Structure formats: C-alpha cells, structure tokens
C-alpha cells in the first residue's frame, strides 16, 4: 500500500500542489475578479488574504495531513471517532465540485479541438450558447441530452482515470512534473505575445487603474478571500491529502510558500495577458474594454475565439496553445480534487488505488452527464454556489477549529520548524489559526449566505436541496458501512 500512495520526491509534491492550485480559477476567474474589484486597489485585500489566511492555513492543513499519513476522513476519526460523518462530507462536496469542474474541462476540450480550424465560426457567442450547449436558463432543458458535449466530458474522465489509477508517483507525480512547468512556459509565451499586440496598453491601463474608494466596501474583501480560497484549493482536503503522501524529510513551510508564490505569479501574469488581449480587441472593435470583459465561460469561450478570429493565421497557433493550457491547468486541479474522496474510500473499504479510481471515475462520469444537457450551464452555476458559498467555507471553518483547537496546532510547530529552510513559525501563527482565521471565515460565510439570498428562485433552491441531500445521504452511507479493514480506527501519528 505504501508505494501506491507516496511521492517519489519533495519536488513531485510541490509541483502537484502547484498543479492543484493553478487551474480555471487563475485563468478565467482571477482577471475578472481583479478588474471588477477596484483594479490596483484590489491588491490590498488580496495580500491581506494571502498573509492572514492562506499561508497560515495552508501550513496547518499540510502539517496535519503529514502527521496522519492517511485520508482526511481517517485522520478525523483518529482525532475523534464521532467526527467520521463530517470526515465524509468534505470529500463528497469536493467530489461534487470535481464533477462540475470536469464539465468545464470538457467544454475546453471541445474548443481545443475546434481551435485548429476555428470551428466556432464568425459568431462565437451564438455558437457557444445556441449551437453547442443549446443553453436554457432553467431546468427545462435537462432532458435534452447533447452527445457531442458528453463525448468530450467522458474523454476528460478517461484522462483522469488514466493518470490516477497508476501508483501515485508514476501517474500524478510524473504528469505534474512534466506538465506543470509546461503550463508556465506556454503561459509565459502567450502573455509576452499579448503584451506586444497593439492596444495592449489600453487594456492594462484599464486593469490597473485603482479605484481606492472600493476599499471601504465589504464586497471587495469578500471577493479577495473567496478568490484566494478557490485559487489555492484551500481547505478542500487537496493540500491535506497531498501532504499525507510526503516523505519524512519534507519542508512543509517552504513548500507552502512556494505554492502561494507560484499561484499568485501565475494568476497575475494571466491577468496581464487577458487585459492586453482585451485592449487589442477594444482597439479593433472600438468598444470600450469595460463592455468586452466578462466572467467565466463567456470570457474563455466567446471573447477568446473572437480574438483568435481577428488574429488570422496567428490565431491558429495561439488558439490551440491557449486551450491546451487551460486543459492542462484544469486536469491537474481536478486530479487533486478527485484524490480526496478516492483515498478515503481506499482507506475504509480496503480498495486498491486501481479499483477506487475506476469506481469513482465511473460514478463521476455518469453523474456529470447531467451537465451534458441543455440545462447543464444553469445547474453548474448553482452547484458552484452550493460548493463555494455555502459548504466549503463552513467546512473549512470546522476544519480549522478541529485542527487548531482539538488536534492542537502547537503540536506541529517544532516539527515544522525543524525542517524549514525559509521561515519559522512562532506565536503569530497560533494566533492566526486559532483566532483570526475562524473569525474571518465566519464573516465571509455570513456574507456568502447573504449574497445567496439574492439569487433564490424556486428552481435554484430545489437544486441546492438536491445537492445537500446527495451530500448528506452519501456521507451517511459511507459512515455507516462497516470498514473492510481493522485499522480504520487506528492511525499512526508521525509527529509524537
């Protein structure tokens, strides 16, 4: 069992963590979040979020994961057997996220394919919504299945299976060691190219033009914390799980630091590229940047194809490179989300990695088919709110309290410091994980719920209830099913 789930080196762990962090959140989400929340002024809440929440919490998650060398669920049982149910809730929610994440990867796969011949035609907006996704803005389209979309989604699940059914270091480790650096290199070239486009300065001026007055708004602080959360895969068990696979000599403090730096560098670099391109579009079309910029799928799948159309032959090179980058970033993130539930069921039901990954890919692939319908985009938006605004923040809050107070974060300090080649933890760290982070999380959670109230329609409430039921029922089943191994309740701790 040990070999199946161990990194071959610290480098594999760090690159896999960077692969987890750098994902769709960095490419389509961040540029828009930065722009719409005060431009240059956004850097203040962004840096506060990194220093007050991300770095201290990441180190806590890594430390506890390292200590137990097991799945999140098994570790919680060791902390207190009563926590088992909650120990399943997080992996299940993260799996729900992986399922909708796979949808966007599937869409990106379609665009990667189309980009070789600009198959989206002259009007990418109509192409995306009418021809390809046949989107309905309600549940009514749920029976209109779209096989073309389904095929690309299944291809994504196949890749996930192919990588994760192998022993950890031969599959995930190798893929991250090769593709994470590739991701940075391609992004570097795309951004340098974008910066040379005429009009790039218009976009950049628009992006960084700081709106200091927004600093007094609660929204921009929430946006910064939400972004950092999602972008760094915080509190979703990914860091916990990956750290549990590390060897004894791992320097977790420095690793956390490298992951944060790489992730922020990537997303800020991506923002430069996105806004240079938008500036170019603005110059070409005479439309102000503020009217071109959009969030999410529309930015990637509508604005970018428009740009590649305008770019002529160069678009035939830039297009495939861009959609390939998004694909790789998506796959390496999804692998980490997938891993959380996978290792929990491997541990409890004594399944091999091969079996567990096969079962989960079949279940996930099958479940994802709901997104291959006309209502897919609509349901996806609500599932995203369910995961990000409601469950994850609450779950991280619980996790932080369990790790910092019940497990006792102070137990980790000597070990973590003894390996650290960069900085050492002191009292400030305990104050963060015990007091500051829980308080921040409560504020964000209440704010997120408040935001949610504004979108409620009967259909969205139904979808949220269904997702909540799926989470509760599957977590209950996992909890109640008897373990197939004697050591389910016995986990060795590495830190004495």
- Are the CB atoms for 53 and 399 separated by under 8 Å? no
- Minimum distance, C-beta of residue 330 to ligand PHE, in the bound complex (Å): 7
For residues 149 and 271, what is the distance between their CA atoms, to the nearest angstrom?
Answer: 28
Residue span binding ligand PHE (CB under 6 A) among the ranges 61-69, 228-236, 369-377, 481-489: 228-236
**For 483, which DSSP code?**
P
66 counts as binding ligand PHE under rule CB under 6 A: no
* Number of CB atoms found within 10 A of residue 378's CB: 23
DSSP state string for 396-444: HHHHHHIIIIIIITHHHHHHHHHH-SS----HHHHHIIIIIHHHHHHHH
376 counts as binding ligand PHE under rule CB under 6 A: no
**Which of residues 336 and 420 has its CB atom nearest to ligand PHE in the complex?**
336
395 counts as binding ligand PHE under rule CB under 6 A: no
Of 194, 244, 333, 357, which lies in the binding site for ligand PHE, with binding defined by CB under 6 A? 333
- Minimum distance, C-beta of residue 390 to ligand PHE, in the bound complex (Å): 15
Q: Which residues contact 144 (CB under 8 A, 6 or more apart)?
A: 134, 136, 373, 374, 375
**Which of residues 236 and 397 has its CB atom nearest to ligand PHE in the complex?**
236
Number of residues forming the site for ligand PHE (CB under 6 A): 14
91 counts as binding ligand PHE under rule CB under 6 A: no
Which of 169, 165, 131, 172 lies closest to 149, judged by CA? 131
Of 221, 230, 371, 403, which lies in the binding site for ligand PHE, with binding defined by CB under 6 A? 230
236 counts as binding ligand PHE under rule CB under 6 A: yes
Is 134 strand, coil or helix? coil
**Which of residues 23 and 376 has its CB atom nearest to ligand PHE in the complex?**
23
Q: Retrieve residue 198's tokens.
A: 């005429």
**Which of residues 231 and 374 has its CB atom nearest to ligand PHE in the complex?**
231
**Which of residues 329 and 464 has its CB atom nearest to ligand PHE in the complex?**
329
**Which of residues 20 and 474 has its CB atom nearest to ligand PHE in the complex?**
20
Of 67, 231, 241, 346, which lies in the binding site for ligand PHE, with binding defined by CB under 6 A? 231
262 counts as binding ligand PHE under rule CB under 6 A: no
Q: Retrieve residue 371's tokens.
A: 């997104």
> Within its chain, how far is the Cα of 71 from the centroid?
19
- Minimum distance, C-beta of residue 267 to ligand PHE, in the bound complex (Å): 8
Phi-psi sector, 408: left (phi>0), alpha (psi -120 to 50), beta: left
Which positions from 16 through 55 interact with ligand PHE, judged by CB under 6 A?
20-21, 23-26
For residues 401 and 474, what is the distance between their CA atoms, to the nearest angstrom?
Answer: 24
342 counts as binding ligand PHE under rule CB under 6 A: no
241 counts as binding ligand PHE under rule CB under 6 A: no
336 counts as binding ligand PHE under rule CB under 6 A: yes
**Which of residues 325 and 374 has its CB atom nearest to ligand PHE in the complex?**
325
190 counts as binding ligand PHE under rule CB under 6 A: no
- Are the CB atoms for 359 and 127 separated by under 8 Å? no
- Minimum distance, C-beta of residue 243 to ligand PHE, in the bound complex (Å): 14
For residues 429 and 492, what is the distance between their CA atoms, to the nearest angstrom?
Answer: 25
- Are the CB atoms for 46 and 228 separated by under 8 Å? yes
- Minimum distance, C-beta of residue 169 to ligand PHE, in the bound complex (Å): 20
Phi then psi for 373, rounded to 5 degrees? Answer: -120, 175
Phi then psi for 145, rounded to 5 degrees? Answer: -80, 135
Q: Which residues contact 406 (CB under 8 A, 6 or more apart)?
A: 79, 80
- Minimum distance, C-beta of residue 28 to ligand PHE, in the bound complex (Å): 9
Helix (H), strand (E) at residue 32: helix 30-36
- Minimum distance, C-beta of residue 414 to ligand PHE, in the bound complex (Å): 29
* Number of CB atoms found within 10 A of residue 215's CB: 15
Strands (E), 174-234: none
Q: Can you tell me which residue has the tokens 């088919």? A: 369
Which of 7, 12, 46, 52 lies closest to 26, judged by CA? 46
**Which of residues 19 and 141 has its CB atom nearest to ligand PHE in the complex?**
19
Of 75, 168, 238, 278, which lies in the binding site for ligand PHE, with binding defined by CB under 6 A? 238
**Which of residues 87 and 91 has its CB atom nearest to ligand PHE in the complex?**
91
**Which of residues 214 and 262 has its CB atom nearest to ligand PHE in the complex?**
262
- Minimum distance, C-beta of residue 230 to ligand PHE, in the bound complex (Å): 6
103 counts as binding ligand PHE under rule CB under 6 A: no
Is 482 strand, coil or helix? coil
**Which of residues 90 and 412 has its CB atom nearest to ligand PHE in the complex?**
90
Residue span binding ligand PHE (CB under 6 A) among the ranges 47-55, 226-234, 372-380, 410-418: 226-234
- Are the CB atoms for 270 and 191 separated by under 8 Å? yes
**Which of residues 20 and 491 has its CB atom nearest to ligand PHE in the complex?**
20
- Minimum distance, C-beta of residue 457 to ligand PHE, in the bound complex (Å): 27
Q: Which residues form the interface with ligand PHE (CB under 6 A)?
A: 20-21, 23-26, 230-231, 233, 236, 238, 333, 336-337
């Amino acid at each position: 069992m040990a070999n199946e789930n161990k990194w071959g080196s610290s480098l594999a762990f760090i690159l896999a963590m960077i692969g987890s962090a750098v994902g769709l959140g960095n490419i389509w989400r961040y540029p828009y979040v930065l722009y719409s929340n005060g431009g240059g002024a956004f850097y203040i809440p962004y840096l506060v979020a990194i220093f007050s929440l991300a770095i201290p919490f990441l180190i806590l998650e890594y430390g506890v994961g390292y200590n137990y060398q097991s799945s999140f669920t098994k570790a919680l049982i060791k902390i207190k057997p009563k926590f088992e149910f909650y120990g399943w809730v997080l992996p299940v929610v993260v799996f729900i996220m992986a399922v909708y994440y796979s949808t966007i990867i599937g869409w990106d796969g379609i665009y990667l394919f189309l980009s070789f011949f600009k198959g989206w035609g002259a009007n990418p907006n109509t192409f995306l919504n009418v021809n390809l996704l046949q989107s309905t803005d309600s549940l009514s389209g749920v029976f209109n299945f779209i096989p073309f979309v389904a095929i690309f989604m299944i291809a994504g699940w196949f890749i996930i299976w192919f990588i994760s059914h192998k022993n950890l270091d031969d599959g995930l480790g190798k893929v991250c060691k090769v593709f994470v650096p590739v991701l940075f290199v391609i992004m570097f070239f795309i951004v340098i190219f974008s910066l040379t486009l005429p009009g790039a300065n218009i976009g950049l001026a628009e992006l960084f033009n700081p709106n200091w007055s927004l600093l007094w708004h609660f929204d921009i602080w929430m946006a910064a914390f939400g972004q950092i959360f999602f972008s760094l895969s915080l509190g979703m068990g990914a860091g916990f799980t990956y750290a549990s696979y590390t060897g004894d000599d791992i320097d977790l403090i420095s690793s956390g630091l490298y992951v944060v730096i790489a992730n922020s560098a990537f997303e800020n670099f991506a923002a430069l590229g996105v806004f240079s391109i938008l500036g170019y579009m603005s110059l070409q079309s005479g439309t102000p940047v503020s009217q071109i910029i959009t969030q999410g799928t529309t930015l990637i799948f509508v604005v970018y194809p428009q740009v590649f159309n305008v770019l002529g032959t160069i678009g035939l090179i830039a297009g495939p490179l861009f959609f390939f980058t998004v694909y790789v970033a998506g796959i390496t993130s999804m692998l980490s989300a997938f891993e959380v539930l996978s290792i929990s069921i491997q541990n409890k039901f004594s399944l091999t990695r091969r079996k567990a990954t096969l079962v989960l890919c079949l279940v996930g692939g099958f479940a994802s088919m709901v997104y291959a319908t006309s209502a897919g985009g609509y349901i996806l938006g609500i599932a995203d709110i369910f995961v990000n605004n409601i469950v994850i923040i609450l779950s991280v809050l619980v996790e932080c309290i369990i790790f910092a107070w019940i497990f006792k974060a102070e137990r980790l300090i000597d070990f973590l410091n003894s390996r650290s080649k960069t900085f050492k933890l002191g009292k400030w760290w305990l104050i963060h994980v015990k007091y500051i982070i829980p308080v921040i999380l409560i504020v964000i959670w209440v704010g997120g719920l408040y935001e949610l109230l504004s979108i409620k329609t009967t259909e969205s409430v139904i979808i949220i209830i269904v997702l909540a039921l799926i989470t509760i029922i599957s977590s209950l089943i996992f909890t109640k099913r008897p373990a197939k191994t004697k050591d389910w309740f016995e986990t060795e701790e590495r830190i004495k």
